[in-house]
Structures are given as C-alpha cells and as structure tokens.
C-alpha cells in the first residue's frame, strides 16, 4: 500500500467519526431545545395562573397570594399555591 492509499483510508475513517459526532451534537441540541421549550411552557403556565388569580380572584385570595410572595416563597411554592387555588376556587 502506498501513501495515497493510507491517506484515503484515514480520510474515510475521519468522515465516519465526524458523522457520528455530528449526530451526537444534533441530538444534544435537540435535547437542549426540548428543555428550553419545557421551561418556556412552565413559565407560560405560571404567568397565566398568576394573572388569572390576580384578575379574577376574590380580594382575600389575591391578598393571601401577595402575602405568600412577599414572605419569600420559592417559585415552586407559589406555583403550588396557584394550582391549589385553581382547584379549589372557580378560576
């Protein structure tokens, strides 16, 4: 085998490796995009629930929500409260 044959074989192997690497990269990008979409959906739902309670909730309910927010509750705690309010009140 001369030098040209050796180089062409290495070139073929390199192409195959790059193809697999590109597929892994694309799969990683898809997973990241899916995670971004999931995060956006979470915040969209969070905001919609928050606005619904503030816009249509009873004054006592809205005040309780504000107190919870002002007390330093986490986003998860606020989201859970919004879900509970949605389930227990006609919102």
The tens digit of pLDDT for each residue in 18-67 reads: 667 888 888 889 899 999 999 999 999 999 999 999 999 999 999 999 99
Among the listed residues 43, 80, 48, the one whose alpha carbon sits nearest the alpha carbon of residue 65: 80
Is the model more confident about 3 or about 69? Answer: 69
pLDDT, position 3: 52
pLDDT, position 15: 47
pLDDT, position 54: 95
In whole angstroms, what is the distance from residue 61 CA to residue 65 CA? 6
pLDDT digits (tens, 9 = 90+) for 67-85: 999 999 999 999 999 999 9
């Amino acid at each position: 085998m001369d030098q040209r044959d050796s180089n062409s074989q290495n070139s073929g192997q390199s192409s195959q490796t790059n193809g697999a690497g590109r597929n892994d990269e694309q799969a990683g990008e898809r997973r990241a995009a899916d995670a971004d979409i999931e995060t956006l959906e979470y915040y969209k739902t969070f905001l919609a629930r928050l606005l619904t309670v503030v816009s249509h909730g009873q004054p006592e309910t809205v005040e309780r929500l504000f107190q919870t927010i002002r007390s330093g509750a986490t986003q998860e705690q606020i989201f859970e409260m919004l879900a509970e309010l949605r389930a227990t009140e006609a919102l």
